[in-house]
């Protein structure tokens, strides 16, 4: 069966923009701090990198969750539509 393509919701588009901004701006800011510290690893620097990676992972998980939610809602909508059609057919006497 062919799968229908769905449009991205406003939330998903906004999440994409925010995710890309976090990724790019965070990388450049962390790079600037690393250069300013004369290319040395400090505890604060490692904490910053770890928290930035957690934010990136959180955004990815949020996007996956949103996609799964939209897929489930679409499947439920199709199932309800099919049940409605079957009930209407039964009530009109078309099915036995």
pLDDT digits (tens, 9 = 90+) for 43-64: 888 999 999 999 999 999 999 9
- The tokens for 69 are 């939610």
How would residue 95 be classed by pLDDT, with cut points 50, 70 and 90?
low
Residue 31 has pLDDT above 70, yes or no: yes
What was the pLDDT predicted at 61? 95
Contact call for residues 15 and 66 (beta carbons, < 8 A): yes
Residue 78 has pLDDT above 80, yes or no: yes
- The residue ranges of every structural domain in the chain are 11-91
Q: What is the mean pLDDT of residues 79-86?
A: 93
What was the pLDDT predicted at 44? 85
């Amino acid at each position: 069966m062919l799968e229908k393509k769905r449009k991205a919701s406003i939330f998903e588009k906004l999440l994409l923009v925010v995710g890309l901004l976090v990724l790019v701006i965070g990388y450049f800011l962390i790079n600037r701090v690393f250069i300013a510290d004369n290319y040395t690893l400090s505890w604060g620097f490692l904490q910053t990198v770890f928290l930035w990676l957690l934010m990136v992972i959180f955004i990815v998980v949020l996007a996956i969750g949103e996609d799964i939610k939209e897929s489930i809602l679409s499947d439920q909508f199709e199932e309800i539509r099919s049940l409605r059609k079957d009930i209407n057919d039964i009530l009109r006497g078309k099915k036995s």
